[in-house]
Structure 1
Amino acid sequence: MNMIQAINSALDVVMDRDATVTVMGEDVGYFGGVFRATAGLQAKYGKTRVFDTPISEIGIVGVAVGMGAYGLRPVPEIQFADYIYPALDQLVSEAARLRYRSAGEFTAPITVRSPFGGGIFGGQTHSQSPEGIFTHVSGIKTVTPSTPYDAKGLLIAAIEDNDPVLFFEPKRIYNGPFNGHWDRPAENWSRHPAGEVPTGYYRIELGKANVVRAGEAVTILAYGTMVHVALQTVADMGVDAEVIDLRTLVPLDIETIEASVRKTGRCMVVHEATRTGGFGAELAALVQERCFYHLEAPVERVTGFDTPYPHSLEWAYFPGPVRIGQALKKILKD
């Protein structure tokens, strides 16, 4: 399966197992979603469990919070992560706080799915990476997969979780990890290879990172599309790097990170979002706090730039092999 198919399979599996799971959002019903992630679900489960909503993100999430409080497990889709801001108040002031303000009487077991990041020529309003905003909010879990296998297992775990989860899907690799040049648009991107994904039920525990490449020279922390960019870069350069796919930003698997950095003595963070206030800053601070006496060089960050998303310069904005390579040379030289 590619990632879209894996997400569709996850939704199908949990809806078949649990009648309280509902899917909602703009165009998710008859049309099957703009990326086809919900294709066929309405025909199989009916219009009361898979239904279209008005173009109102605050309404979509607000209704989902109420449904969750009354015993359902809604999975609302925000069509693009750029559109999530109108729903910010419902997510931050209602969903994130409901368990605490009700002393556990009510919960908000909602999983908000949303495509994020660039790479599909979507321009300024279809390409943002807002994950750092939500990692700041106590009470919300933030997840982003990098492979079809992880996407399905993590999504099932997120839907079954009793707390609100933001599930950000890197649309640049929706149709499979790109197997080629990461510094320019892919040709025939819909034909990229996918990954082996079981058709049945399985779950991947939230809060567990994955060491996708073992190494001794430097630790690279990444998530989503940037995992593949980092892997390709170190392979091309022949660097003995340990690459960790965070998978879950909150809760964060700090134990795996700490063990790796204590071993390698060097750490680099790679993410597509803008630099200032990005999740990489939190990672750098945590590594410095926990591994200071093991570090042989400052923690490096390779990120997007502090600028509105530059549609015409999209591929210069992304952290790619050139910028990651330059940072690797610098950190290994120190």
Structure 2
Amino acid sequence: MIDLAVDPDVTDPRKTTLVLSHPNNPTGAAFDNDDNLVLVVSGSSSGFIDIIDISVDPPVLTADSPIPMPVGMAPGFTGQVLYDPIGKKAIINTLDDGAGCTQPNGCTGFVAFDVPTRVFGQFISANYAETFAFNSATNQVWDASDSDPGNQINMPDFSLANTAACVLTDPNLAGDHDGASVDFTTNIGVISQENGSATVVNLNGSTVDTVAVPCAINEGGTPPNSAVVSGLPGSTAGSAVNPVTHQAFLIEDGSPGITLLTLPTAPVVQLDPTTLVTSIGAIPPNPFGGTFRTQGDPYAVAIDVCHNKGYAVDSSSTWLVQTDLPTLQTTPASIATALLAGQCTGTTSTTSCKNGAGIIYFALPPVP
């Protein structure tokens, strides 16, 4: 638990560390803001959900943690969980762990978990996701998977009774699908290719062909209702969307490059590529002077919607970095400004935690 409200040059932000009661590294976490809970998934040989009660300070694991996943099912090495505030459920990507799957189409795909009742629900088979996004307004998953064909992504639709994922085909979906995020207010999503480009897809007005096998997502407007945004940092991968500002925050895989991508602010019939604006910056070296390298699969990237801040974790899980997104938008070059002289409280750093230009480093345990 990190206190983001403090000045890390004055107060050590590290409040407590929660230790899970079982093996396997946690790979994904989501905030259930309805119930003041954090959902954590872990496991490749066997899967678990741990639930953290953050209504108390310091937070504690709930008495029913850990909750085993269905037989044969685990979150896997890039396991993630997203919370659906409309359906009051969590969506978890899953991998068949070879322990005797009882699902009709295998155990690789996505499963719903009802948070209030702690019961696993609908399972939809799909390619194993490297990352994914969930549009709670349409009940559809946007899947970024290395196993998808170059011009397709899987789109499990939890509003259908289907046990297999639908498919979205778009010629602009070309490359290594790595990151996925979506603006639920406009149904516009971002799929990164990890090659210096990302594809923005407009599914406003889209329809689902349930006769096709597998079911197909048909774009509205004139296909392809999408656009490729190029010129991004070379290994751009993970992303998150702020549905209030209608902007996506993208990070690289193992490198310091970051991008703010401005999307349409309202639903549109046809995506206009000229409305997609990028602001590109780079996170400066950390308080010990080392190059910042973003964490790869699974990508640790998020947006604080209330304060419009972007967050990324480094590859050694030593630092959490906060980026002021308005600064990244207006003066992107300033983001790379070196950290100020000083010392991060509670560490042996050689500089301040801040650069005074939109970047703040927060130490993660057990940084000395």
Q: Which has the higher contact order (CA 8 A, sep 6+)?
A: 1
Higher helix fraction (1 or 2): 1
Normalising by structure 1, we get a TM-score of 0.28
Higher strand fraction (1 or 2): 2
